[in-house]
Amino acid sequence: MHVTVARVYEFEQALLLRSVLEADGLEVFLPDEFTMQNTPHLLYANEGIRVQVKPDDEARARAILDSKAEP
């Protein structure tokens, strides 16, 4: 079971967020990764690409993403 900590509409942005979180030692799951690569027209219908982590890592992941957010 994973929890969604972000939703993005660009595949490259999902990869960037995954890299940022993995650099801090978190295991990251992109359940929509292959769907979006093969059927990008479904991106908006599926409300973007989900960036997920384990439930125990949710607070830490959100803190990391908040600290990296653009002003």
Q: What is the pLDDT of residues 27-68, one digit of tens each?
A: 999 998 877 777 777 766 678 899 999 999 999 999 999 998
pLDDT of 52 reads 98
Question: What per-residue confidence (pLDDT) applies to 66?
Answer: 92
How distant is the alpha carbon of residue 56 from its chain centre? 16
pTM for this predicted structure: 0.85
**Banded pLDDT at 70 (limits 50, 70, 90):** low
Q: Is 2 helix (H, G, I), strand (E, B) or coil?
A: coil
| Spatial contact of 60 and 26, defined as CB atoms under 8 Å apart | yes
Q: How many alpha carbons fall within 13 Å on the CB side of residue 48?
A: 14
Predicted confidence band of residue 8 (pLDDT cuts 50, 70, 90): very high
